[in-house]
Structures are given as structure tokens and as C-alpha cells.
């Protein structure tokens, strides 16, 4: 901030980078490397974009002032949908805040940048819908061919049958039998229900 003649302080516009990864395991380096040289501050969030509440994002948005820039690497790092992206653009534009998407060199400070932002938002939404549709079709095709989907069971069918026999023929508890197969008692209970539904 620099002083004015009246003694008041003139605030220097800030460029705040918002970075997001969906899990703790995902690498944030690509976003950090791209945004560090052009931002005054980086704010990192480790949450899915679909999360109902993103505290870091909410804090960044609340702190942005007139003249500031919200900097993101890709559109989907900050916004859930085209509607979300356009709503945020309108809201931030009214506050005098600019959005910069580094990977596409889009800057909403210009009419050209706003047009590209609107177009790219719609295109990203279209791609997400296509991907979702293809995924559902792929899963349906796999089921049709009898392929098992999802995580592999922790206990084989034979182990579950053996565990049921042990329960019936011995005084061992469910917890004791679960230890034999190195699983949690709740896992054994679910496995029994899966193979022997009541």
C-alpha cells in the first residue's frame, strides 16, 4: 500500500491464486508452478469441486476487493458448472474483481476476455456431460458382459462360507472369526449378508 497526500493509504490491487486438488494424494505442483510467478498470494484447497462447502474458496471470494484479480490455472479448479462460473463472474464483476484463467490466457478485464470466458464455461460443461454419458454407457456395457464393477470384496465367497460354518459349529465370536481372515467384524457381517441374504 502506498500513502496519499491526505495521509490516507491507497490499496494496491492483489492477485490471489486459488488452487484446488480433489484429494490429499493429488499433486498440486503444476498449479503452484504456473501461478506462483504471477500471484501475490496462493490459497490451496484439497476438496472435490462438488463439495457443498469449500471454506478456502469462500474465504478467497470474501476477501477480494475492487481492482483485485482471482487467478486460477483451469476453469474446473474453481467452478462446478457453466452456471456456477457465469454466476461468479457476474458477482465478481459487480464488485470490480477480475478473473484470470492462466491456461487459456483469459482475462475478464476485457470484453474479449469475458466473451471467451462465457464460451469456455459452456464448452467445459458440455465436455463434463459427454464424459458422464460415456462413463455410464461403459459401465452398462461392462455389466451386460457380466463384469464385476467396483472394489473387489475383501473376503472370497469360500472364506465367507467357511466363516459361516465356524459361527455355526464353534463358540467363537464374530470378532474372533474376523481376526482369522484379517478383516474388521463389520466387513465379515457385510460379507455374510452379501452371500446369505435373509
Answer yes or no: 22 catalytic. Answer: yes
- Cell numbers representing residue 94 in the block: 459487480
Q: Phi and psi for 172 in degrees, rounded to 5?
A: -70, 145
Nine cell digits for residue 58: 469462500
Select which of 6, 22, 48, 62 is catalytic: 22
* DSSP-derived secondary structure letter, 12: P
132 CB burial (10 A radius; 0-12, 13-18, 19+): exposed
- Residue 193: name the closest of 179, 174, 180 by CA: 174
List the one residue out of 144, 85, 166 whose CA is nearest residue 119: 85
What backbone phi and psi angles, to 5 degrees, belong to 102?
Answer: -65, -45
Active site positions, annotated: 22
Amino acid at each position: 500500500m502506498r500513502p496519499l497526500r491526505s495521509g490516507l493509504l491507497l490499496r494496491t490491487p492483489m492477485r490471489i491464486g486459488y488452487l484446488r486438488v480433489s484429494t490429499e494424494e493429488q499433486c498440486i505442483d503444476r498449479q503452484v508452478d504456473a501461478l506462483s510467478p504471477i500471484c501475490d498470494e496462493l490459497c490451496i484447497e484439497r476438496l472435490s469441486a462438488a463439495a457443498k462447502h469449500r471454506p478456502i474458496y469462500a474465504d478467497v471470494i470474501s476477501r477480494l476487493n475492487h481492482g483485485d484479480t482471482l487467478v486460477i490455472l483451469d476453469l474446473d479448479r474453481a467452478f462446478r458448472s457453466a452456471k456456477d462460473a457465469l454466476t461468479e463472474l457476474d458477482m465478481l464483476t459487480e464488485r470490480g474483481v477480475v478473473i484470470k484463467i492462466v491456461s487459456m490466457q483469459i482475462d475478464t478485464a476485457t470484453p474479449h476476455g469475458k466473451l471467451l470466458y462465457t464460451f469456455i464455461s459452456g464448452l467445459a460443461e458440455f465436455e463434463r456431460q459427454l464424459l458422464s454419458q460415456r462413463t455410464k454407457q461403459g459401465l452398462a456395457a461392462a455389466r451386460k458382459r457380466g463384469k464385476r464393477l467396483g472394489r473387489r470384496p475383501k473376503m472370497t465367497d469360500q472364506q465367507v462360507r467357511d466363516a459361516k460354518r465356524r459361527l455355526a459349529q464353534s463358540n467363537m465370536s464374530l470378532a474372533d472369526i474376523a481376526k482369522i481372515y484379517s478383516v474388521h467384524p463389520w466387513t465379515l457381517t457385510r460379507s455374510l449378508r452379501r452371500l446369505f441374504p435373509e
